[in-house]
Amino acid sequence: IQTRASLSPRGGLEEAAGMVPLPVSHESATTANIKAMKETKALVVDTGTGHFKCGFAGDLWPLYVVSPTFRKPTWEAGSNQRETLVGKELQNSSIPSTPISPVRHGTVVDWNSVQDVLKCIFKAEMKIQPEDHAVLMSVPSLCSTTEKGKYAEMLFEGFHMPAIHLAYQSHLSMYSYGKTSALVVESGHGVSYVAPVYEGYILRNITGKVDYAGLDITYYLMKLLNESGNTFTEHQLNTIQDLKEKCCYTSLDLQQDLSLPVEKQQVDYKLPDGHFITVGKERFLCAEALFKPVLFGSQQQGLLQLTLTCLKKCNADVIRKMLGNVLLCGGSTMMEGFAERFQKELATMFPCDCPIIAASPQRKAAVWIGGSILASLNSFQDLWVHRYEYEEHGSTCIFKKCF
């Protein structure tokens, strides 16, 4: 047992206030900051590989869901000048640009770009002054101490935020279901996790992680479609992703679906140029990749195998508790039929334990929603790390109050 979850989120949104109590008498907290914080709601930010989700504590859904792909106009290559084209600007821009992803497989690989993208979201989209708001930020569940320090540095030194809290994504996902013990099975855009949380403690030493998720399914779907005679390229990934989300599904019985007459497998999908393509067995074959990543060339374990490996490291009591609370989280678990297939396969692996799978319709934003609940609890408010504490003690106060 490695990590403490400080609070139960039960009763969460009723308590929602979103206001942060203040260290009124401390010298280094400026009066302006204190006044501003009193009047503002805390922010909640989840920096995923595919989307940054931002909004205000106490809300039911993130107000801003923005691709973090940072585009540097091509004509600027070589210059140090940064041009942040994110969100609406990015969609509306016709400037030739090179896409840069600052988060890969859930891990920040380019802190400057993450900061630029967030700055853009705060200022251009949310129209807020970050120095006036406390922020609860999600961090990957197997995040290193150094990375936690980098998050704190960015928020306090880059954005001058008055107070912050960092929380593991698996914890937050679990809170979105109102649970304190669960097996969190999370698959997003670039990374998937199986994280056991027992009575509030995340068992990080047996948490399983694999570096594939929705993006890999999208690439695999493109490959399958091209093998069927199409000529999609990487520039059309957004279209393929849309096709995946609208037309694809996880088969409950692969052999049975494969033996269906072709017309029953097929649906038409309208491309952005108005033409239609017919998609057949690719619809369910692509979804197999989460169970057999070898299909797209990965040697890592499939999601079910990862779950089994994780559970095998738990004692019988914990296994029972975990199997009674399997929580599906992240966008890729939204694939139609995924929950049913996962349930079926898990029940075959553990026939005596009757696994119970929960799949909330909001699970795509489970991390963010859990953060929104946590940050708005009255009992949480002492766990904000204020800037004066950070200035005095450095990152140690983060580890004390957050993890």
Ligand X SMILES: Nc1ncnc2c1ncn2[C@@H]1O[C@H](COP(=O)(O)OP(=O)(O)OP(=O)(O)O)[C@@H](O)[C@H]1O
- Compare residues 12 and 214 and give the one whose CB is closer to Mg ion: 214
- Compare residues 102 and 130 and give the one whose CB is closer to ligand X: 102
From the list ligand X, Mg ion, none, which binds 364 (C-beta under 5 to 8 Å, kind-based)? ligand X
From the list ligand X, Mg ion, none, which binds 334 (C-beta under 5 to 8 Å, kind-based)? ligand X
Contact positions with Mg ion (CB under 5 A) in 76-135: none
68 near Mg ion, judged by CB under 5 A: no
- Specify the DSSP element, H or E, that contains 196: strand 192-198
Q: Residues 6 or more apart from 219 whose CB is under 8 A from it?
A: 237, 296
| DSSP 3-state of 163 | strand
- Compare residues 68 and 87 and give the one whose CB is closer to Mg ion: 68
Least Cα distance to 188 among 67, 300, 49 occurs for: 49
Closest distance of CB 365 from Mg ion, Å: 9
- Compare residues 131 and 336 and give the one whose CB is closer to ligand X: 336
Q: For 50, how many CA atoms within 13 A lie in the half-sphere containing its CB?
A: 20
Contact positions with Mg ion (CB under 5 A) in 157-196: 188
Closest distance of CB 24 from ligand X, Å: 37
From the list Mg ion, ligand X, none, which binds 204 (C-beta under 5 to 8 Å, kind-based)? none
- Specify the DSSP element, H or E, that contains 390: helix 387-393
48 near Mg ion, judged by CB under 5 A: yes
Closest distance of CB 191 from ligand X, Å: 4
From the list ligand X, Mg ion, none, which binds 171 (C-beta under 5 to 8 Å, kind-based)? none
Closest distance of CB 349 from ligand X, Å: 24
Closest distance of CB 212 from ligand X, Å: 9
Closest distance of CB 27 from Mg ion, Å: 39
Closest distance of CB 245 from ligand X, Å: 4
- Compare residues 17 and 100 and give the one whose CB is closer to ligand X: 100
Q: What is the number of helices (H) and of strands (E) in the chain?
A: 16, 18
Question: Which residue in the block uniquely carries the two structure tokens 């969609």?
Answer: 91
From the list Mg ion, ligand X, none, which binds 58 (C-beta under 5 to 8 Å, kind-based)? none
From the list ligand X, Mg ion, none, which binds 213 (C-beta under 5 to 8 Å, kind-based)? ligand X
Buried b (16+ CB within 10 A) or exposed e, 63-96: eebbbbbbbbbeeeeeeeeebbbbbeebeeeeee
- Compare residues 5 and 339 and give the one whose CB is closer to ligand X: 339
- Report DSSP state, residue 28: T
From the list Mg ion, ligand X, none, which binds 190 (C-beta under 5 to 8 Å, kind-based)? ligand X
Contact 209, 392 (CB under 8 A): no
Least Cα distance to 195 among 73, 305, 326, 300 occurs for: 326
- Compare residues 134 and 335 and give the one whose CB is closer to ligand X: 335
Contact positions toward ligand X, by CB under 6 A?
48-51, 106, 188-191, 213-215, 241, 244-245, 330-332, 334-335, 364
Q: What would the DSSP string read from start to end of 213-267?
A: SHHHHHHHHHHHHHHTT----GGGHHHHHHHHHHH-B--SSHHHHHTS-HHHH-E
Closest distance of CB 237 from ligand X, Å: 10
**Phi then psi dihedrals of residue 360, to 5 deg:** -70, 145
Contact 220, 296 (CB under 8 A): yes
From the list ligand X, Mg ion, none, which binds 214 (C-beta under 5 to 8 Å, kind-based)? ligand X
Neighbours of 284 (CB within 10 A): 22
Q: Site residues (CB under 5 A) for Mg ion?
A: 48, 188
